[in-house]
Structure 1
Amino acid sequence: MGEPARPRVLVVQNARHGGLGRFSDWWQEAGLALDVVHAYDGEPIPDLDDHDALVLLGGGLMPDDDAKGPWLARERDVATKALQSGIPQLGICLGGQLLAYVAGGSVHAEHGQPEAGSTVLTRRPEADQDALFGELAPTFRAIEHHVDQITELPPEAVWLASSDRCPYQGFRVGEHSWGVQFHPEVDLDRIRAWNPDNLIAQGFEPEQVINEAAEWEPTSVAVWRGFADRFAGVVRS
């Protein structure tokens, strides 16, 4: 008998430089098969019929900005179907905002203060028994890179994590759909490639952002490898 088929994950990439990063290797090592759709480049987003999970990646758009992202209507539809069917789902940055939006929350552009680089987050008490967040420390660091943010969670969402500048850093809708504002998939090489002029315009010193991320990279790898493995475990089960 051959090996059992690997669970298939549909990954929607919303920006050219917004790929799976380190999650790609980690999830494949954890036994998942990844079907990455480059939606920003016109690749059609398929149905979920042949997939066991959905991952929505980041990008510099609002979740309903169909004029700039004509594929977003289809992405919202697929995210809604995953919610309704209970298929495991993870939305990152724009993907998390889109999940909040389709589940009845609110997202606003250029809201509050921007975040960039390694940032301290707080795990909320509601996360204690959560399949992904429950094993995180009471405070932990994650990579941020956003100016837009969720301003109201969906009515039935479980609020999992926050930061000083952005309250809604992590949440769950139902049992198997998670959204995060931060970037657990981003490694140091991606941060080094960020546009320094944009960072300066947002009030950050590019070298300081890189150096602080480098200092925390060893810890970051351990923390987010565990997070990735736990999501893979949800998908496999």
Structure 2
Amino acid sequence: MSSTRLLVIQPSRTNPPAALAEWLRDAGAELDVVLASEQPLPASLDGYAGVVCLGGEMSALDDLRHPWLASVRKLLAEAVTRNVPTLAICLGAQLLAAATGGVVRPMEDGPEVGGRLVAKRDSVGTDPLFADLPWTPDVLQFHSDEISSLPAGAQLLASSPRCQNQAFLVGTCAYGVQFHIETTTETVLEWAAADPEAAERAPRGGFTRDGLDQLHEDLAETWKPFAQRFVRLAEEGPRPNGSLGRNLPLV
């Protein structure tokens, strides 16, 4: 049986696919990882069964300093219009929202950081990725921007007190999650060292190695099966036409 080929867009060296890559490969996926800031992105999604877009330290519309962001948004818009299963994480979720008509802005009260809980919405129903999650799954937050308005027709899947739009679905199978599920302890410690002021906003005043090790054990318990479900979704092929149709605004 041939493996399921996924395009993994990595906007920054600081945010590798890490644990998520291991989970996806274990589920039978073949990953083409492209470091978007240094390598050319494919011209289209031909040949790919799904897309994963990771996070990074830049803002979703910071094209002046990072002109390649426009190409990422274009591919994410293509994924939605072609009904290609997509998982967009943190900055990736913001890029997905911006590419399809949503609004991204800095958080008014500063960054949301640390191990947190998000709450599923009743609207998840029988969703193939979210239905089997706990009602309040553990996540890792490390972001200073937020999606203040979802694209027209998008479905809200999870929220938190500080950030309303924590997870959403655009069209039939393009998922955005504002939080991180893919990290390792080492990755997060590097983020904390690079931005100690933001790291101090984490619960109990910051990050410890023991605390992060425990958090990542909890994340794996919930989000590894989620990643496996995403591979199965990609294996099924393009979904029926979604609610956003074929004419999406590209920012």
TM (norm. structure 1) is 0.92
Change (3 A) 1:191 1:201: closer
Letter in 1 for 2:83: G
| 1:123-162 paired onto structure 2 within 5 Å | 123-162=120-159
Change (3 A) 1:201 1:136: closer
- Mapped contact 2:4–2:231 kept (Cα < 8 A): no
CA RMSD, 1 decimal? 1.8
Moved more, 221-230 or 190-199: 190-199
Aligned to 1:35: 32
Aligned to 1:220: 219
CA distance in 2, matches of 1:217, 1:134: 22
Note the C-alpha offset of 1:217. Answer: 2.9
Note the C-alpha offset of 1:37. Answer: 0.6
CA distance in 1, matches of 2:109, 2:165: 12
CA distance in 2, matches of 1:217, 1:103: 31
Decide which of 47, 55, 58 is 2:55's aligned counterpart: 58
Note the C-alpha offset of 1:207. Answer: 6.8
Note the C-alpha offset of 1:110. Answer: 4.1
| 1:90-109 paired onto structure 2 within 5 Å | 90-109=87-106
Which has the bigger relative contact order, CA under 8 A and spacing at least 6?
2
Aligned to 2:207: 209
- Mapped contact 2:114–2:199 kept (Cα < 8 A): no
CA distance in 2, matches of 1:51, 1:16: 23
Change (3 A) 1:125 1:44: same
Count of aligned residue pairs for this structure pair: 233
- Mapped contact 2:37–2:66 kept (Cα < 8 A): yes
Gaps of 5+ in 1: none
1:89 is aligned to 2:86: yes
Change (3 A) 1:79 1:209: same
CA distance in 2, matches of 1:193, 1:201: 12
Gaps of 5+ in 2: 237-251
User: Equivalent residue of 1:82, what SS?
Assistant: helix
